[in-house]
């Protein structure tokens, strides 16, 4: 046909398509073959194929980064109010199984450090108003288990509100064990978005999410979730994690039978820099793939029958998100890449400010603590942020510019080593490429079955989540 960089794939029913990674466009192979002139007109569009000078500016200054953050950064201040936790979850980044991360400690953030982090964040919000007048502050509380230092959270809320006259959005991510009536009443009164970590059905949750004595925590966490639901009058947002021993059919049953919860995030255990996955056997992987295929079969039946999206369906959320992740990707016909981060899903350091209990600032709560980007006493080090961006771009411009995922990669600083320069491990890249190919096949297979289902799912699910978040806030 031609020598364009492309990837050909087929759907479950035999439909043939071609993905063009330079422009992030998918065309039907039959459609292409039917009209050669039409095809040539498309591939000759400006920006369809990228030239050697596609990537523009590489060397950013601290001032460049500061201006970019003033325009679109500072979206959230995440405060690690404590390093303590009353759980010992086996996949936790602080479990000692992840390189570059701290382990569980007994230190709390001081009120002075918390106030300085809020001062710094709100100062940046104020300074950036000319660039982004509609930005609203978001302050989130993390741990450890943040509710172990609930008094500090209350003081932070009171202090932030005393400094800022407009709306501040507050959130907390908790293991759910300490949700007493008094704490819930405060969270509801202050309109918190409360996210509870719960890994679905009891057996799955208790396998990994254990207390300091090694006992499962499902029963009392679920009891507290129901109490929170009764008081806030909307379904409780969950952060759910799965691994190769998770039974997806049981997950589907659990969420359908518990309308008082809704999945906000669903993720596999982070595989970067850990020995967690050494425990799994060949039989575990076979079980996982079989469970996933069975879930897909049930999902396909729902799509064929035109069943509406169910907010409480684990299956619809997991597999529906695969489809939307494919179809919501923007076509890229830009002749030049003027993005600050040239490839991958990494944000500009400083987009979120994560402050640890000692007052050090990191890119986010999920990133290893090998490289700090400032502290609450001296502020964000914009020159350091620029150095990270420049080093990152130097690496990705060589490693990623011909990758199949160059317009779709979600990989970010959470799976990258930065202690001795930027190091992108190729094994994770291989996994991401493999997953993307499978997702392309699956999404277009679903599209062929029912073209309207994906759009309906996206609108219904995310409109409902947005509505609930507004009610909470």
Answer for the pair 236, 192: CB distance below 8 angstroms, yes or no. Answer: no
Q: Using 50, 70 and 90 to split pLDDT, how confident is the model at 369?
A: confident
Q: Which residue did the predictor score with more confidence, 291 or 97?
A: 291
Mean pLDDT of 362-377: 91
Q: Using 50, 70 and 90 to split pLDDT, how confident is the model at 54?
A: confident
Confidence at residue 2, expressed as pLDDT on a 0 to 100 scale = 53
Of 147-156, 215-224, 413-422, the least confident: 413-422
As given in the structure block, the two tokens for residue 303 are: 């799509």
How far is residue 36 from each of residues 25, 29, 31, 39, 48, measured CA to CA in Å? 17, 11, 9, 5, 16
Mean pLDDT of 299-326: 88
Of 154-163, 170-179, 209-218, 444-453, the least confident: 444-453
Confidence at residue 379, expressed as pLDDT on a 0 to 100 scale = 98
CB-based contacts of 242, cutoff 8 Å, min separation 6: 199, 200, 204, 248, 251, 266, 267, 268, 269
Confidence at residue 470, expressed as pLDDT on a 0 to 100 scale = 46
Partners of 138 in beta bridges:
169
Write down the pTM of the prediction.
0.92
Q: Which residue did the predictor score with more confidence, 99 or 135?
A: 135
Q: Using 50, 70 and 90 to split pLDDT, how confident is the model at 389?
A: very high
Q: Using 50, 70 and 90 to split pLDDT, how confident is the model at 471?
A: very low
φ, ψ (nearest 5 deg) of residue 169: -95, 130
What span, in angstroms and rounded, lies between the C-alpha atoms of 117 and 354? 9
Handedness of CA 372, 378, 384, 388 (dihedral sign): positive
Q: Using 50, 70 and 90 to split pLDDT, how confident is the model at 163?
A: very high
Q: Using 50, 70 and 90 to split pLDDT, how confident is the model at 472?
A: very low
Confidence at residue 55, expressed as pLDDT on a 0 to 100 scale = 81
Confidence at residue 399, expressed as pLDDT on a 0 to 100 scale = 86
- Round the average pLDDT of the chain to a whole number and report it: 91
Q: Using 50, 70 and 90 to split pLDDT, how confident is the model at 253?
A: very high
Q: Using 50, 70 and 90 to split pLDDT, how confident is the model at 268?
A: very high
In the predicted model, is pLDDT for residue 473 greater than 70?
Answer: no
Confidence at residue 461, expressed as pLDDT on a 0 to 100 scale = 67
421-425: which pairs have CB atoms within 8 A and are 24 or more residues apart? 421/391, 421/395, 422/388, 422/391, 422/392, 422/394, 422/395, 423/395, 424/395, 424/396, 424/399, 425/272
Mean pLDDT of 213-242: 96
Confidence at residue 152, expressed as pLDDT on a 0 to 100 scale = 98
Q: At what angle do helices 314-327 and 426-449 cross, to 10 degrees?
A: 100
Confidence at residue 303, expressed as pLDDT on a 0 to 100 scale = 92
Q: Using 50, 70 and 90 to split pLDDT, how confident is the model at 342?
A: confident
How far is residue 74 from each of residues 77, 234, 456, 472, measured CA to CA in Å? 7, 28, 32, 22
**How confident is the model over 64-80, as pLDDT tens digits?**
999 999 999 999 999 99
Mean pLDDT of 88-117: 90
Q: Using 50, 70 and 90 to split pLDDT, how confident is the model at 3?
A: low
In the predicted model, is pLDDT for residue 47 greater than 60?
Answer: yes
In the predicted model, is pLDDT for residue 355 greater than 80?
Answer: yes
In the predicted model, is pLDDT for residue 12 greater than 70?
Answer: yes
């Amino acid at each position: 046909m031609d020598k364009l960089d492309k990837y050909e794939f087929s759907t479950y029913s035999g439909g043939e398509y071609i993905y063009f990674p330079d422009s992030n466009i998918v065309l039907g192979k039959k459609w292409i073959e039917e009209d050669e002139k039409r095809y040539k007109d498309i591939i000759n569009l400006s920006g369809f194929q990228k030239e050697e000078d596609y990537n523009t500016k590489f060397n950013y200054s601290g001032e460049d980064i500061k201006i970019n953050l003033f325009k679109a950064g500072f979206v959230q201040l995440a405060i690690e109010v404590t390093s303590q936790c009353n759980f010992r979850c086996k996949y936790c980044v602080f479990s000692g199984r992840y390189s570059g991360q701290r382990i569980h400690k007994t230190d709390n953030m001081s009120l002075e450090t918390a106030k300085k982090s809020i001062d710094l964040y709100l100062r940046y919000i104020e300074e950036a108003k000319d660039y982004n007048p509609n930005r609203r502050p978001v302050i989130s509380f993390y741990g450890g288990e943040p509710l172990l230092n609930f008094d500090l959270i209350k003081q932070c809320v009171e202090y932030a509100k005393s400094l800022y006259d407009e709306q501040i959005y507050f959130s907390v991510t908790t293991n759910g064990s300490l949700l007493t009536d008094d704490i819930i009443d405060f969270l509801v009164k202050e309109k918190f978005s409360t996210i509870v970590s719960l890994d679905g059905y009891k057996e799955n949750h208790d396998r990994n999410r254990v207390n300091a004595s090694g006992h499962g925590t499902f029963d009392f966490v679920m009891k507290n979730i129901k109490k929170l639901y009764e008081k806030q009058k909307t379904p409780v947002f969950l952060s759910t994690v799965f691994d190769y021993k998770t039974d997806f059919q049981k997950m589907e049953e659990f969420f359908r039978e518990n309308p008082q919860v809704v999945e906000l995030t669903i993720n596999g255990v982070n595989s970067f820099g850990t020995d967690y996955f050494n425990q799994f056997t060949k039989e575990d992987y076979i079980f996982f793939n079989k469970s996933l295929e069975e879930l897909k079969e049930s999902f396909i039946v729902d799509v064929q029958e035109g069943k509406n999206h169910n907010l409480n369906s684990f299956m619809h959320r997991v597999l529906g998100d695969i489809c939307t992740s494919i179809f919501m990707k923007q076509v890229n016909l830009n002749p030049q890449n003027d993005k600050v981060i040239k490839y991958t899903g990494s944000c500009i350091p400083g987009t979120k400010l994560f402050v640890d209990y000692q007052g050090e600032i990191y890119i986010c709560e999920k990133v290893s603590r090998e490289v700090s980007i400032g502290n609450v006493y001296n502020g964000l080090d914009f020159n350091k942020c620029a150095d990270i961006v420049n080093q990152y771009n130097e690496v990705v411009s060589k490693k990623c510019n011909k990758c199949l995922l160059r317009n779709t990669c979600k990989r970010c600083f959470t799976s990258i080593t930065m202690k001795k320069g930027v190091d992108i491990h190729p094994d994770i890249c291989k996994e991401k490429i493999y997953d993307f190919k499978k997702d392309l096949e699956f999404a277009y297979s679903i599209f062929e079955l029912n073209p309207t289902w994906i759009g309906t799912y996206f609108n219904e699910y995310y409109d409902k989540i947005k509505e609930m978040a507004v009610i909470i806030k």
